[in-house]
Structure 1
Amino acid sequence: MFRSLRVFIVSTSAVPTLPAAPTAPLVTAAVAEGGGSALAPVVPENLTVWRMFAEADPIVQAVMLLLVAASLLTWTIWIAKSGELASAKRALKADLATLTEADRLAALKAAGHGPVGDMIAVARAELAAGADVTGLQDRIEARLQRIEVAAVQKMMRGTNIVATIASAGPFIGLFGTVWGIMNAFIGISQTQTTNLAVVAPGIAEALLATALGLVAAIPAVVIYNGFARSVADYRRLVGDASTLVAVLVSRQVGAGSR
């Protein structure tokens, strides 16, 4: 009996052990080969600014186009008004030099150009009328003031558009952002997922509207402040010219009354 038991133990120990069946690695490989797209949505490739614009909601696209047009309009006004203000200041400084050298209004050979020319023409017309010498100075000063106001208003023309873009641009961009985020939330509810690959494109399109709003508004604020300083300097020059014309008229009236 002991001999048969020994034979059974030896035969049992000689049985080879079977290798463990592969589990997780094969499942992982299978998921990686075929089923991975169901678990991890593919992130859109090449998510550029142009692609965000092209895939955005039509209302968000309209907001973006409006902001781009507003930005282009701001830079166009800046180029045009900068040249106009620079030219007007040069002409005013030349006219101021001529007025400073003259001792009387009759000594001026030419009426000049721009507001100074209008001032000289008005003063000469009032002097030629010569109806009431007592109120002559007051009448001329009143008409010179009107010319001064008209000249400054002409230089301010177009700057109100820049001010409107500077103040309304961020809010227009914010409207596009709110609309885009609403659409992104609607997409989340329809796809029943909060995966970043699904949510990110819609939010990026919405934030692009805010970025364009800032791009339109920040330069507009800087440009408008520059215009305000330039127009203030122009107003000072026109005021100096008005004062000099009034002084020349006073001298001529005083010389004629002697």
Structure 2
Amino acid sequence: MTSSLIALLATTVEALPEEAVQAVTQGAAAAGEAASFNLWDLVIKASLPVQFIMALLVIASITSWIIIFRKWKVIRRARSEADHFEERFWSGAELSKLYAGTTERNRAMGGLEAIFEAGFREFNRIRQRRGVDARAQLEGAQRAMRATGSRELDGLEHNLELLANIGSTSPYIGLVGTVFGIMVTMHSLVSASKQVGIADVAPGISEALLATAMGLFVAIPAVWAYNRFATGVERLAVRYDAFSEEFSSILQRQAHLDE
């Protein structure tokens, strides 16, 4: 046993081959670069076409978020105003007093209040004419309410088309950046005289895939917000139509009472 240990200690350890040492060194360097992975470095070192597409995606993202915050406030305000006006309208107040209250306020009307004001104003204007029957009075009020309701919905739908376009085209724009990034990387590797490895291909592929990821990050919130806002506008449109029909019934009864 003792002689075996002495023989083992006496053996000399052979040095590793130089190729193995270089391979280990390169692997450690690649691991160090992977550990210091930085998205900003990928953007800075990206090719010019990819940087241009990334800039477009950043502009599209900023635009979409501006639209999202503004549209969220507009639809929330329209829903709140509709709730408050319906509460006042169905509280039993006289139509003339309610109309006077809407016209005396020094503020812009919108939503159900604007529809009510337009319909009742047109109804009173036609009723002051002589020889006009109840049907003509009602049809005039309905036309005024439809026109005002269309303008209100058009204001609510403003910029929704742009939001939908951003959400639908951003992934394809990012994919174009990916294609350009891969093309530039492949051409640079083909023109290189030395033998290339994964460490040479990884930066170009990473910047190319980053463009696709940016396109998805732009598209996902835009599509989600568009679907939510479109549903909100549709619900408000249903409320506007229902109120117009109910108010038309009230005006019809009042027009027959005046005859």
Q: Mean Cα displacement is larger for which, 206-215 or 61-70?
A: 61-70
Deviations 1:157-192 (A, max 9, x none): 121121011100100000000000000101110114
* Alignment partner, residue 233 of structure 1: 235
Kindly, what percent of the aligned residue pairs are identical? Answer: 27
Correspondence 1:195 to 2:197:
yes
* Alignment partner, residue 145 of structure 2: 144
Deviation at 1:76, TM superposition (A): 2.0
Q: Normalising by structure 1, what TM-score?
A: 0.80
* Alignment partner, residue 89 of structure 2: 99
Deviation at 1:49, TM superposition (A): 0.4
Q: Could you say if the C-alpha distance between residues 101 and 254 of structure 1 is closer, same or farther in structure 2, counting changes exceeding 3 Å?
A: farther
Question: What letter is aligned with 2:115?
Answer: M
Task: Give the conservation status (yes or no) of the 8 Å contact 1:111–1:120.
Answer: no
Q: How many residues are treated as equivalent by the alignment? A: 230
Question: What letter is aligned with 2:138?
Answer: Q
Deviation at 1:255, TM superposition (A): 1.7
Question: What letter is aligned with 2:56?
Answer: L
Task: Give the conservation status (yes or no) of the 8 Å contact 1:57–1:180.
Answer: yes
Task: Give the conservation status (yes or no) of the 8 Å contact 1:105–1:245.
Answer: no
In 1: Cα distance, 2:43 partner to 2:114 partner: 52
RMSD: 2.5
Deviation at 1:40, TM superposition (A): 5.3
2:122 counterpart (111, 125, 133): 125
* Alignment partner, residue 67 of structure 2: 77
Q: Secondary structure at the match of 1:101?
A: coil
Q: Normalising by structure 2, what TM-score?
A: 0.79
In 1: Cα distance, 2:102 partner to 2:252 partner: 18
Task: Give the conservation status (yes or no) of the 8 Å contact 2:116–2:145.
Answer: no
Correspondence 1:58 to 2:48:
yes
* Alignment partner, residue 114 of structure 1: 110
Deviation at 1:248, TM superposition (A): 2.8
In 2: Cα distance, 1:92 partner to 1:47 partner: 52
In 1: Cα distance, 2:115 partner to 2:94 partner: 14
Q: Which has the higher contact order (CA 8 A, sep 6+)?
A: 1
In 2: Cα distance, 1:172 partner to 1:117 partner: 43
* Alignment partner, residue 173 of structure 1: 174
In 1: Cα distance, 2:148 partner to 2:110 partner: 10
